[in-house]
Structure 1
Amino acid sequence: MDQNDLIMRPITGPEELDLFTRLPYVLDDELADDLADGRRRPEWLWVALRGDRLLARVAWWCQAGDDTPFLLDVLDIDDSDDGSDGGSDDGVDAGVALLRTAMAEVVPAGTRPPEYSRIVPPDWRDGEVTRRVVENRMAVLEHLGARLFVERLRFEWHPGAPVPEPAGCLAFRPVHDTGELLGLMTRVLDGTLDAHSRADLTRMSAREAAVRHYEDELAHYRSPREWWRVATLPDGEPAGFVTPARNDYNHVIGYLAVLPEHRGNGYIDEILAEGTRVLAAREVPRIRSATDLGNTPMANAFLRAGYVNTARTISMTWD
């Protein structure tokens, strides 16, 4: 592909979303609200054009009010010419050129590029087309030095699914304050199976990792903190916690954990059931959550609780 005939630029504003969404993706319906609410900026949404044909697009996301992008969550290419006939792969080539150009403008110099995340079908490896779509986008990132970090399972609960009654082994109370929650979050990092937490622990202390997780996610929830629950044993000793919540898009089971000394007793089911009851009582349209593919205990707990695996997420990072 001759890159000289490519026009690579950010969109001018919401009025160009029709151009940006010529290549479809599941997040397209959120883009307008994200722009209006400050979670995206026009200068973070880039397109690669050859004439009127959109060959590639990329977009970054942040928490409202932040000045720098937090996540690269849209990267699409025109898959109509994928090189399967032995010719050049214009889509991948255009994606590489666009991402390289856009990153130079969007990502602050000298900083690590934001993580890449893409929602994919739960069985994406089983079909030739779906597998090629995912692998083509991963190839773009790999050309620029990124590597696969983790694959995650996305779950949903819908009204009508059973909500387990309390089993009685644990009691539940609201979190006293931020300090208590941070203390519990610090403790559960011992032996964690979560890839992001494990990576954090190679760069910072458990307390610092807990604070970072809290500030990056939990502090931004729109819902009351009174929804959060600490699970306790009959003597009042904490055994775990759960943070049912509403983020910018959905009601979620944001964080669920069992303290290390109480793992292996089946408490994960009771704690998840409590978080589900908190949200189900408010007649929410759905509950979403996710866990790493390798976190088999958590994945199985979701399935036992009536959650359905609706998708996966591919995450890639730069070293």
Structure 2
Amino acid sequence: MSVEQHDLTMRPIAGRDELDLFTRLPYGLNHELDDDLVAGRRRPEWMWVALRGDRPVARVAWWGRAGDDTPFLLDVLDLDDSGDRVDLGVRLLERAMADVVPAGTRPPEYVRMIPPDWRADTAARRDVEDRMAVLERAGARLFVERLRFDWHPGTAIPEPTGRLRFRPVRDTEEILDLMTRVLDGTLDAHGRDDLTRMSPREAAVRHYEDELAHYRAPRDWWRVATLPDGEPVGFVTPARNDYNPIIGYIAVLPAHRGNGHIDDLLAEGTRILATQGVPRIRAATDLGNTPMANAFRRLGYVDFERSINMTWPDQPTNQPT
């Protein structure tokens, strides 16, 4: 599985005992890699390095759900300061993809956390743009940039306004029905993209199975917001993923948008998590979803980070052998 090209060796790491080698290139998520390997969210064969001698000059790694045979996301792509680092990154990514991504399938989406001010910071901008150049040369395209938010205990949560009533979600069918309905007029890039290829119901089922079904928290935390007469207005799913407490999904039904209900929903979801004594709450929305971003900020969430999401075309990528 190891490939040598002149002075460059490209191979997956041998196991956890090579994490020190893999983490010589810095990233804020390096501290999670060992736990991910233990939990089965990563595999050594999904974590590749390009070496000059014993020095890592590039690395890539995929993430997946525990028990899955194929990765769900490409989330690590790092380059050293070599003058040919983009070329090295392309060679490593294409070589690793040939082994990691099943032939004839669409490569997993690339998601990378980046500084919130990356465009204004010369070094950060170079890093982001060079990584994107590697992905583009391997066939990917920018899909969306997202804002990532943090809420911390001690931040004030407004008292309920009394305009809405909140109750637990009754069952899976109810949340799927609500998820289907909120796709009408959605500003979410993933939702809009899904609707170009499938029905609203199919898109809701896919989102549920890919994300909500894997939350590590009681589903009785999820809330449906209604008017006093019981008519649904929207919903929020406070939850935990593998790493943090989160506002997983929050939305207002089309007929009730523009009335400020998103603030009540977000406050309720935040209140539920805050009562669990959490150290933080994470949330995210697309850079272009200004109403949602402003709602987070009004409630004291701070946009501490961004993410770059890139995807490959629907047709399978021709992979090198």
TM-score class, shorter-chain normalisation, is over 0.9
Q: Please report how far the alpha carbon of residue 187 of structure 1 lies from its aligned counterpart in structure 2 after TM superposition.
A: 0.3
Shift of 1:263: 0.3
1:4 CA displacement: 2.3
Aligned residue pairs: how many? 310
1:94 Cα deviation (Å)? 1.1
Given the alignment of the two structures, is residue 216 of structure 1 paired with residue 210 of structure 2, yes or no? yes
The equivalent of 2:8 in structure 1 is: 6
Query: Does the Cα contact within 8 Å between 1:59 and 1:75 map onto a contact in 2?
Result: yes
Corresponding residue number in structure 1 for 2:65? 63
Identity of aligned residues (%): 75
CA deviations on 1:97-152 (whole Å, 9 max, x unpaired) are: 10000000000001111111110010100011110010111111011111110000
The answer on 1:271 being equivalent to 2:265 is yes
Contact 1:3–1:94 (Cα < 8 Å) also in 2 = no
What does residue range 76-91 of structure 1 map to in structure 2 within 5 Å?
Answer: 76-78=78-80, 80-81=81-82, 89-91=83-85
Q: Distance in 1 between matches of 2:64 and 2:205?
A: 18
> Once the two structures are superposed, what CA deviation does each residue of 1:11-64 show, in whole Å capped at 9, x if it has no partner?
010110000000011111111111111111110000000101111000001111
Q: Which residue of 2 aligns with 1:286?
A: 280
SS in structure 2 at match of 1:241: strand
Contact kept, 8 Å, 1:69 with 1:114, in 2: the verdict is: yes
Write the letter of the residue equivalent to 1:47.
V
Q: 2:294 aligns with which of 290, 293, 300?
A: 300
Which of 246, 255, 264 aligns to 2:249? It is: 255
Superposed, 1:96-107 pairs within 5 Å as: 96-107=90-101
Map 1:27-66 to 2 at 5 A. Answer: 27-66=29-68
SS at match of 1:234: coil
Matched, 1:228 2:230: no
Say if 1:154 and 1:311, in contact at 8 Å, map to a contact too: yes
- Quick one: which of 186, 189, 204 aligns to 1:192? 186
d(CA) in 2 for partners of 1:214, 1:30: 25
Instruction: Quote the residue 1:150 is aligned against.
Output: 144
2:115, 2:151 → 1: CA distance? Answer: 17
2:172 to 175, 178, 182: 178
Query: For structure 2, which runs of at least 5 residues remain unmatched after alignment?
Result: 314-321
Aligned to 2:317: none
> What is the TM-score when the length of structure 1 is the normalising length?
0.96
2:245 counterpart of 1:243: no
Q: Is the 8 A contact 1:6 1:48 kept in 2?
A: yes
Per-residue deviation, 1:244: 0.1
1:90 CA drift (Å): 2.0
The aligned residue for residue 318 of structure 2 is none
Contact kept, 8 Å, 1:253 with 1:287, in 2: the verdict is yes
Runs of 4+ residues deviating >2 angstroms: none
Cα deviation for residue 3 of structure 1 reads 4.2
RMSD: 0.9
Residues 1:121 and 2:123 aligned together: no
Residue identity in the other structure for 1:36: V
Distance in 1, matches of 2:188 and 2:215, equals 21
CA distance in 2, matches of 1:198, 1:153: 18
Match of 2:304 among 293, 310, 314: 310
Contact map agreement 1:122 1:312 (CA 8 A) in 2: yes
* SS in structure 2 of the partner of residue 7 of structure 1: strand
Contact preservation (8 Å) 1:11, 1:42: yes
Query: Partner amino acid for 1:122?
Result: P
Q: Residue 85 of structure 1 corresponds to which residue in structure 2? A: none
Task: Return the offset for 1:282.
Answer: 1.0
How many Å separate the matches in 2 of 1:213 and 1:30? 25
Instruction: Report the TM-score when normalising by structure 2.
Output: 0.95
Rounded to whole Å, the distance in 2 between the matches of 1:239 and 1:258 is: 6
Q: Quick one: which amino acid aligns to residue 218 of structure 1?
A: L
Say yes or no: does 1:130 pair with 2:132: no
Superposed displacement of residue 283, structure 1: 1.2
Q: Which amino acid aligns with 1:50?
A: R
CA distance in 2, matches of 1:258, 1:159: 26
Deviations along 1:200-248, one digit per CA (max 9) or x if unpaired, are 1111111111011111111111110000000000100000000000111
2:211 and 2:39 map into 1 onto residues whose CA distance is 17
Counterpart amino acid of residue 221 in structure 2: W
1:4, 1:169 → 2: CA distance?
69
